[in-house]
Amino acid sequence: MGLSVVGNILMGSGLALIGPLPILPVDPSVILSQASMVLFGVGYVFLHVTPLGWAAQQAKEEGYTGMATSLSITSISILITCQRGILSHA
């Protein structure tokens, strides 16, 4: 839960800087855009760590103790989630 909150804050900060927000007293620059993309990327990673850890833990609790099996279940669930997201925005 905590990593998701940190991820959302980092992504929001990255998006606020890429413009930048009109209330921020900074001028747009390449360095600022690059920094905002780094913040956004790190935030995106934090958002995906929590569900991956949860999915791996659930697979282990269900009896799928093999690493290959757990990773394949996690990968399939991510693939399905991504496809639903892409199809819902098409």
Over residues 47-86, the pLDDT tens digits come to 777 777 777 777 777 776 666 555 666 666 666 666 555 5
Peptide bond into 20 cis (omega under 30): yes
**Contacts of 44 by beta carbon, 8 Å cutoff, 6+ apart:** 7, 11
Separation between Cα atoms, residue 61 and residue 52, nearest integer Å: 14
Q: pTM of whole model > 0.95? A: no
Both tokens of residue 4?
A: 């998701």
**Contacts of 60 by beta carbon, 8 Å cutoff, 6+ apart:** 70
Contact 6, 46 (CB under 8 A): yes
User: Given this model, what pLDDT does residue 51 score?
Assistant: 73
Over residues 19-41, the pLDDT tens digits come to 778 888 888 888 888 888 888 88
Whether residue 90 is predicted with pLDDT greater than 60 in this model: the reply is no
Rg (CA), the chain: 17
